[in-house]
Chains A and B, each alone.
Chain A
Amino acid sequence: NAGVMQNPRHLVRRRGQEARLRCSPMKGHSHVYWYRQLPEEGLKFMVYLQKENIIDESGMPKERFSAEFPKEGPSILRIQQVVRGDSAAYFCASSRGTGGPGELFFGEGSRLTVL
Protein backbone atom coordinates (compact mmCIF):
# COMPACT_ATOMS: atom_id res chain seq x y z
CA ASN A 1 0.00 0.00 0.00
CA ALA A 2 1.39 3.34 -0.97
CA GLY A 3 1.67 5.88 1.80
CA VAL A 4 0.96 9.57 1.54
CA MET A 5 2.62 10.75 -1.65
CA GLN A 6 3.89 14.28 -2.02
CA ASN A 7 5.46 15.91 -5.01
CA PRO A 8 7.66 17.52 -5.87
CA ARG A 9 10.02 16.49 -3.10
CA HIS A 10 12.17 19.53 -3.79
CA LEU A 11 11.14 22.74 -5.47
CA VAL A 12 13.19 25.84 -6.17
CA ARG A 13 11.49 29.08 -7.04
CA ARG A 14 12.58 32.67 -7.47
CA ARG A 15 10.88 35.44 -5.56
CA GLY A 16 7.56 36.33 -7.13
CA GLN A 17 6.96 32.96 -8.78
CA GLU A 18 4.24 30.50 -7.87
CA ALA A 19 4.73 27.19 -6.06
CA ARG A 20 2.31 24.28 -6.29
CA LEU A 21 2.68 21.35 -3.95
CA ARG A 22 0.67 18.18 -4.42
CA CYS A 23 -0.45 15.55 -1.96
CA SER A 24 -2.13 12.23 -2.67
CA PRO A 25 -3.52 10.74 0.56
CA MET A 26 -3.28 7.11 1.47
CA LYS A 27 -5.81 4.85 -0.17
CA GLY A 28 -9.10 5.05 1.68
CA HIS A 29 -8.23 8.35 3.37
CA SER A 30 -10.49 11.32 2.72
CA HIS A 31 -9.05 13.81 5.21
CA VAL A 32 -5.95 15.85 4.39
CA TYR A 33 -3.90 18.18 6.56
CA TRP A 34 -1.08 20.49 5.53
CA TYR A 35 1.69 21.49 7.91
CA ARG A 36 4.69 23.77 7.45
CA GLN A 37 8.06 23.39 9.13
CA LEU A 38 10.31 26.42 8.99
CA PRO A 39 14.03 25.87 9.56
CA GLU A 40 14.82 25.08 13.20
CA GLU A 41 11.14 25.15 14.15
CA GLY A 42 8.37 22.69 14.88
CA LEU A 43 5.61 21.81 12.47
CA LYS A 44 2.75 24.29 12.30
CA PHE A 45 -0.76 23.39 11.22
CA MET A 46 -1.95 25.21 8.12
CA VAL A 47 -5.19 23.74 6.80
CA TYR A 48 -7.53 20.77 7.05
CA LEU A 49 -9.52 19.64 4.03
CA GLN A 50 -11.96 16.97 3.05
CA LYS A 51 -12.98 16.30 -0.51
CA GLU A 52 -14.17 19.59 -2.03
CA ASN A 53 -14.31 21.27 1.38
CA ILE A 54 -11.99 23.36 3.49
CA ILE A 55 -12.80 22.43 7.08
CA ASP A 56 -10.28 24.51 9.00
CA GLU A 57 -7.86 27.03 7.50
CA SER A 58 -7.00 28.82 10.70
CA GLY A 59 -3.26 28.25 10.18
CA MET A 60 -3.09 29.58 6.65
CA PRO A 61 -1.44 32.94 6.04
CA LYS A 62 -4.06 35.46 5.02
CA GLU A 63 -2.51 36.23 1.66
CA ARG A 64 -0.86 34.31 -1.18
CA PHE A 65 -1.64 30.85 0.21
CA SER A 66 -4.53 28.65 -0.86
CA ALA A 67 -5.41 24.97 -0.69
CA GLU A 68 -7.85 22.67 -2.37
CA PHE A 69 -8.80 19.02 -2.36
CA PRO A 70 -10.90 18.37 -5.46
CA LYS A 71 -13.27 15.49 -5.95
CA GLU A 72 -10.72 13.87 -8.25
CA GLY A 73 -6.98 14.17 -7.93
CA PRO A 74 -4.55 15.24 -5.24
CA SER A 75 -4.78 18.02 -2.73
CA ILE A 76 -2.86 21.09 -3.81
CA LEU A 77 -1.21 23.77 -1.71
CA ARG A 78 -0.60 26.85 -3.80
CA ILE A 79 1.70 29.70 -2.86
CA GLN A 80 1.58 32.75 -5.08
CA GLN A 81 4.34 35.35 -5.37
CA VAL A 82 6.69 33.42 -3.14
CA VAL A 83 9.07 35.23 -0.81
CA ARG A 84 12.22 33.97 0.90
CA GLY A 85 10.31 33.44 4.14
CA ASP A 86 8.22 30.78 2.42
CA SER A 87 11.28 28.51 2.25
CA ALA A 88 10.30 25.55 4.39
CA ALA A 89 9.32 21.90 4.39
CA TYR A 90 5.63 21.41 3.70
CA PHE A 91 4.18 18.17 5.03
CA CYS A 92 0.88 16.65 4.11
CA ALA A 93 -0.89 14.15 6.35
CA SER A 94 -3.98 12.07 5.79
CA SER A 95 -6.45 10.04 7.80
CA ARG A 96 -9.64 8.08 7.32
CA GLY A 97 -11.44 10.46 9.60
CA THR A 98 -12.91 7.74 11.73
CA GLY A 99 -10.04 7.12 14.10
CA GLY A 100 -8.18 9.31 16.51
CA PRO A 101 -5.16 11.54 15.94
CA GLY A 102 -2.92 8.52 16.21
CA GLU A 103 -4.10 7.48 12.78
CA LEU A 104 -2.58 10.45 11.04
CA PHE A 105 0.04 9.52 8.45
CA PHE A 106 2.54 12.00 7.07
CA GLY A 107 4.08 12.20 3.65
CA GLU A 108 7.81 12.72 3.19
CA GLY A 109 7.34 16.41 2.62
CA SER A 110 8.02 18.94 -0.12
CA ARG A 111 10.98 21.21 0.46
CA LEU A 112 10.55 24.65 -1.04
CA THR A 113 13.55 26.90 -1.52
CA VAL A 114 12.96 30.46 -2.59
CA LEU A 115 15.96 32.21 -4.10
Chain B
Amino acid sequence: RKEVEQDPGPFNVPEGATVAFNCTYSNSASQSFFWYRQDCRKEPKLLMSVYSSGNEDGRFTAQLNRASQYISLLIRDSKLSDSATYLCVVNAAGGTSYGKLTFGQGTILTVHP
Protein backbone atom coordinates (compact mmCIF):
# COMPACT_ATOMS: atom_id res chain seq x y z
CA ARG B 1 0.00 0.00 0.00
CA LYS B 2 1.29 3.45 -0.88
CA GLU B 3 2.03 5.77 2.04
CA VAL B 4 -0.08 8.52 0.51
CA GLU B 5 -2.80 7.65 -1.96
CA GLN B 6 -4.72 9.95 -4.23
CA ASP B 7 -7.15 9.48 -7.07
CA PRO B 8 -4.97 10.46 -10.05
CA GLY B 9 -7.96 11.77 -12.01
CA PRO B 10 -7.94 13.55 -14.33
CA PHE B 11 -10.74 15.78 -13.22
CA ASN B 12 -12.16 17.89 -16.03
CA VAL B 13 -14.54 20.59 -14.79
CA PRO B 14 -16.04 23.77 -16.22
CA GLU B 15 -15.19 27.17 -14.85
CA GLY B 16 -17.19 27.96 -11.75
CA ALA B 17 -17.55 24.33 -10.69
CA THR B 18 -16.78 23.00 -7.23
CA VAL B 19 -14.35 20.10 -7.15
CA ALA B 20 -13.13 17.94 -4.28
CA PHE B 21 -9.98 15.86 -3.97
CA ASN B 22 -9.39 13.13 -1.45
CA CYS B 23 -6.29 11.58 -0.05
CA THR B 24 -5.51 8.84 2.46
CA TYR B 25 -2.29 8.19 4.32
CA SER B 26 -1.08 5.01 5.95
CA ASN B 27 1.24 6.19 8.72
CA SER B 28 -0.82 7.00 11.79
CA ALA B 29 2.20 8.77 13.31
CA SER B 30 2.12 11.44 10.59
CA GLN B 31 2.33 14.87 12.08
CA SER B 32 1.86 17.51 9.40
CA PHE B 33 -0.28 17.62 6.31
CA PHE B 34 -0.29 19.82 3.23
CA TRP B 35 -1.63 20.36 -0.21
CA TYR B 36 0.89 21.40 -2.84
CA ARG B 37 0.24 22.47 -6.38
CA GLN B 38 2.47 21.52 -9.29
CA ASP B 39 2.10 23.06 -12.71
CA CYS B 40 3.29 21.09 -15.73
CA ARG B 41 7.06 20.58 -15.58
CA LYS B 42 7.42 23.02 -12.71
CA GLU B 43 8.37 22.73 -9.07
CA PRO B 44 5.74 21.97 -6.41
CA LYS B 45 4.49 24.97 -4.47
CA LEU B 46 2.76 24.96 -1.12
CA LEU B 47 -0.96 25.63 -1.49
CA MET B 48 -1.98 25.28 2.13
CA SER B 49 -1.38 23.43 5.33
CA VAL B 50 -4.14 21.17 6.65
CA TYR B 51 -5.35 21.17 10.23
CA SER B 52 -7.76 18.96 12.12
CA SER B 53 -10.03 21.92 12.69
CA GLY B 54 -10.21 22.50 8.95
CA ASN B 55 -8.92 25.61 7.29
CA GLU B 56 -9.96 27.87 4.48
CA ASP B 57 -8.01 30.16 2.18
CA GLY B 58 -10.26 32.01 -0.21
CA ARG B 59 -11.82 29.47 -2.54
CA PHE B 60 -9.84 26.59 -1.05
CA THR B 61 -10.88 24.55 1.97
CA ALA B 62 -8.83 21.74 3.46
CA GLN B 63 -9.93 19.14 5.99
CA LEU B 64 -8.10 16.50 7.98
CA ASN B 65 -9.63 13.47 9.68
CA ARG B 66 -6.94 11.85 11.79
CA ALA B 67 -9.15 8.96 12.87
CA SER B 68 -9.78 7.96 9.26
CA GLN B 69 -6.34 9.12 8.07
CA TYR B 70 -8.04 11.11 5.39
CA ILE B 71 -7.34 14.54 3.90
CA SER B 72 -9.49 16.54 1.52
CA LEU B 73 -9.26 19.68 -0.58
CA LEU B 74 -12.29 21.54 -1.87
CA ILE B 75 -12.00 24.16 -4.59
CA ARG B 76 -14.99 26.40 -5.13
CA ASP B 77 -15.71 28.57 -8.16
CA SER B 78 -12.94 26.95 -10.22
CA LYS B 79 -10.82 29.20 -12.42
CA LEU B 80 -8.90 28.31 -15.55
CA SER B 81 -5.74 29.11 -13.59
CA ASP B 82 -6.55 26.33 -11.11
CA SER B 83 -5.59 23.77 -13.75
CA ALA B 84 -2.63 21.90 -12.27
CA THR B 85 -1.70 18.73 -10.42
CA TYR B 86 -2.63 18.80 -6.74
CA LEU B 87 -0.31 16.90 -4.44
CA CYS B 88 -1.31 15.54 -1.06
CA VAL B 89 1.73 15.70 1.20
CA VAL B 90 2.42 14.25 4.61
CA ASN B 91 5.29 14.71 7.01
CA ALA B 92 5.79 11.72 9.24
CA ALA B 93 9.27 12.37 10.48
CA GLY B 94 8.85 15.39 12.66
CA GLY B 95 11.75 16.42 14.84
CA THR B 96 14.69 17.66 12.83
CA SER B 97 13.60 16.02 9.59
CA TYR B 98 10.48 18.01 9.08
CA GLY B 99 11.43 18.67 5.47
CA LYS B 100 11.26 14.95 4.74
CA LEU B 101 7.90 14.90 3.03
CA THR B 102 5.93 12.03 1.54
CA PHE B 103 4.08 13.03 -1.62
CA GLY B 104 1.06 11.45 -3.18
CA GLN B 105 1.05 10.74 -6.88
CA GLY B 106 -1.05 13.84 -7.49
CA THR B 107 -4.51 14.54 -8.87
CA ILE B 108 -4.71 16.25 -12.24
CA LEU B 109 -7.27 19.03 -12.55
CA THR B 110 -8.23 20.67 -15.81
CA VAL B 111 -10.66 23.56 -15.71
CA HIS B 112 -12.19 24.38 -19.08
CA PRO B 113 -14.15 27.42 -20.29
Total chain B interface residues with beta-carbon distance under 8 A: 24
CB distance from B35 to the nearest CB of A (A): 11
Q: A101-B34, A102-B49, A108-B42 are in contact. Are A44 and B103 (CB under 8 A)?
A: yes
Residue contact A95 to B99, C-beta cutoff 8 Å: yes
Which of chain A's residues have a CB closer than 8 A to the CB of B46?
102, 104
User: Is B32 positioned at the interface, with any CB of A under 8 Å from its CB?
Assistant: yes
CB distance from B93 to the nearest CB of A (A): 8
Residues facing A in B40-67 (CB within 8 A) are 41-46, 49
Residue contact A41 to B105, C-beta cutoff 8 Å: yes
CB < 8 Å neighbour of A101 from B42, B43, B45, B99: B99
CB distance from A10 to the nearest CB of B (A): 11
Q: Bound complex: CA of A101 vs CA of B100, how far in Å?
A: 8
Which of chain B's residues have a CB closer than 8 A to the CB of A40?
105
Total chain A interface residues with beta-carbon distance under 8 A: 26
Q: Bound complex: CA of A15 vs CA of B96, how far in Å?
A: 37
Q: A41-B105, A106-B44 are in contact. Are A48 and B100 (CB under 8 A)?
A: yes
Q: Which 5 A-B pairs have the closest CB atoms?
A: A42-B103, A106-B43, A43-B103, A42-B105, A101-B91
Residues in chain B within 8 A of chain A (CB atoms):
4, 32, 34, 41-46, 49, 87, 91, 93, 96-106
Residues in chain A within 8 A of chain B (CB atoms):
31, 33, 35, 40-45, 48, 55-56, 89, 91, 93, 95, 97, 100-102, 104, 106-109, 111
